[in-house]
Amino acid sequence: MTKKKDDKKIGAVGSSQSTKGVKATENVSEVDKVKGAASVRGVSGVSRVSGAGPLGAITLEQRERLMTLVSEEAEKLAAQGVIPKSQREIVEQAVKMVIDASLIEGGNDQKKK
Amino acid sequence: MGSATERQRLSEEDANNLVVEHHGWAESIARSVARSWNLDWRLDGLDGAAMEALIFCSRRFDPSRGIPFKGYARKRIHEASTDAARKSKGWTRSSSKGSPEAKAREISAELYGVFPELRDGRLPVHESSGNDDSDTRSAIRELLVGASIVATRQAVATDPLPDDLIDYRRMVGVMASLEPLHQWLLYKVYWDGLSLRTVATEWDTDGLNVMREHKVLIAYLQKSMAMGKPAPLPKVRPGLKTLTAKFKKEGSKGPFTDVLRGASG
């Protein structure tokens, strides 16, 4: 009999402790704050822009990559018939020239001092 | 009120300091232009032109506007350098006039008129799609199609081969299917040599309206040329609709439609 009483007491204490644990779920409200961080997705877009400077900004370091892209796109457009094949070489060279002349040694915003 | 519109100039000493501080940068612009067009930046006079433009800009610079000096001066120095290059002996000396290199140079020089942002070191990207690589490729395609229009027009204007005439007819045919407003936009840019910004000013509208519309038109041309027939026509964006009404009132069918009618009639 005595043993049974003791068992009941222990059981009751155990359940009340777990109720305290439910209080901890109040912390879930802090998870809501993390949801606020989901709006940081917008910031990732900003960081992309800030990495490249103003929209469309190109630098001398990107020169080789840009020239390769011009060749690739010229090839595609010529294959589609958008650029006449007789013009392809001249048009590709013209675009390479105009991009190359826009790339300045020392970058866009670097100051010497 | 008056102070907001008053222009502030630097003192002569400050302006001279700007020149001293930026002369190496101005030279690098001249060198870039010379490098791309295979010229000698000193022998062909690009150094002097860049320096003159730098001095001019230092005298005109208004620091109260909040624009950094480089942002203000770069386009002008670049323009002075390209102008000097086109007038130089090297422009005609290093390659015969009809050579592919000479043609490419002429086309590239015209592209600066259409896409002046290139002088600032920027590709024609007017709004980010969120994918840098895609934006860069799209801008390059815009440049290539633009260059192709210039090449076709130049070829016909000089000594056209039968192939050139066929290409020209094909391109004009696609353009003639466009709304009059769209035809005029392309005509003003590629035939009259106006920049997109200048067209926007002439039409009293926002520059972005015209730039975005131009991008749509280039995509349309690309699609139509690839399909071999006119693609579904692009709609005129709301910001330009008043102009559409104006062209309709004037009874204009568009310059390319007129060219085709003239050729067939």
B204-207: Cβ within 8 A, 24+ apart? B205/B239, B205/B240, B205/B243, B206/B239
Q: Coil, strand, or helix at residue B184?
A: helix
Q: Which residue of B has its CA nearest to A99?
A: B118
Residues of A in contact with B32 (CB under 8 A): 100-105
Task: Report how far apart, in Å, the C-alpha atoms of B12 and of each of A41, B23, B48, B60, B66 are.
Answer: 49, 16, 20, 11, 19
CB-closest option in A77, A89, A90 to B141: A77
pLDDT at B72: 94
pLDDT at B253: 87
Exposed (0-12), middle (13-18) or buried (19+): which is B10, by Cβ within 10 Å?
Answer: middle
pLDDT at B94: 60
Distance from C-alpha of B255 to C-alpha of B175, rounded to nearest angstrom: 9
Give the gap in angstroms from C-alpha B141 to the nearest C-alpha of chain A: 6
CB-closest option in B119, B139, B144 to A77: B144
Determine the residue among A95, A105, A111 to mutate to test chain B binding: the one whose Cβ has the most chain B Cβ atoms within 10 Å. A95
Residues A32-41 pLDDT 10s: 554 444 444 4
Provide the ipTM. Answer: 0.87
Sort residue B121 into left (φ over 0), alpha (ψ -120 to 50) or beta: left
How do the pLDDT tens digits run along chain B, 265 residues long? Answer: 444 556 778 888 999 999 999 999 999 999 999 999 999 999 999 999 999 999 999 999 998 888 999 999 999 999 999 999 999 988 877 656 678 888 999 999 999 989 999 999 999 998 888 888 999 999 999 999 999 999 988 887 777 777 777 888 888 889 999 999 999 999 999 999 898 989 999 999 999 999 999 999 999 999 998 888 889 999 999 989 899 888 888 888 899 998 887 766 5
> What pTM, to 2 d.p., does this model score?
0.78
Q: How far apart are the first and last CA of chain B?
A: 60
Distance from C-alpha of B68 to C-alpha of B71, rounded to nearest angstrom: 5
pLDDT at B128: 86
Distance from C-alpha of A50 to C-alpha of A48, rounded to nearest angstrom: 6
A57 DSSP β-pair partners: B122
> Hey, is the C-beta of B2 within 8 angstroms of any chain A C-beta?
no
- For A81, which DSSP code? T
> Hey, is the C-beta of A48 within 8 angstroms of any chain B C-beta?
yes
DSSP one-letter string for B200-217: HHHTTS-HHHHHHHHHHH
Query: At B40, which amino acid appears?
Result: D
Give the gap in angstroms from C-alpha B210 to the nearest C-alpha of chain A: 17
Residues A101-111 pLDDT 10s: 999 876 544 44
Domain boundaries, chain B: 1-94, 96-265
> Hey, is the C-beta of B20 within 8 angstroms of any chain A C-beta?
no
- Residue A12 reports pLDDT greater than 60: no
> Hey, is the C-beta of A70 within 8 angstroms of any chain B C-beta?
yes
* pLDDT-based confidence at residue A24 (cuts at 50, 70, 90): low
Residue A8 has a CB neighbour count (10 Å cut-off) of 9
CB B59 within 8 A of CB B95: no
CB contact under 8 A, A73 and B140: yes
Residues of B in contact with A113 (CB under 8 A): 21
Distance from C-alpha of B108 to C-alpha of A86, rounded to nearest angstrom: 17
Q: Which of residues 95-114 of B touch A (CB under 8 A)?
A: 100-101, 103-105, 107-108, 111-112
* pLDDT-based confidence at residue A30 (cuts at 50, 70, 90): low
pLDDT at B264: 63
Q: Which residue of B has its CA nearest to A113?
A: B21
Q: Which residue of B has its CA nearest to A59?
A: B121
CB contact under 8 A, B140 and A66: yes
- For A57, which DSSP code? B
CB-closest option in A56, A59, A89 to B117: A56
CA-closest candidate to residue A63, choices A89, A97, A91: A97
> Hey, which CATH number is domain B1-94, 1.20.1440, 1.10.1740, 3.40.50, 1.10.10?
1.10.1740
Is the alpha carbon torsion for B87, B90, B91, B92 positive or negative?
A: positive
Matching residue, tokens 């018939």: A81
CA-closest candidate to residue B58, choices B7, B119, B14, B28: B14
CB contact under 8 A, A45 and B140: no
Q: Which of residues 49-68 of A touch B (CB under 8 A)?
A: 49, 52, 54-59, 66
Distance from C-alpha of A97 to C-alpha of A99, rounded to nearest angstrom: 5
Cα A2 off chain centre by: 66
> Hey, is the C-beta of B193 within 8 angstroms of any chain A C-beta?
no
pLDDT at B95: 59
> Hey, is the C-beta of B29 within 8 angstroms of any chain A C-beta?
yes
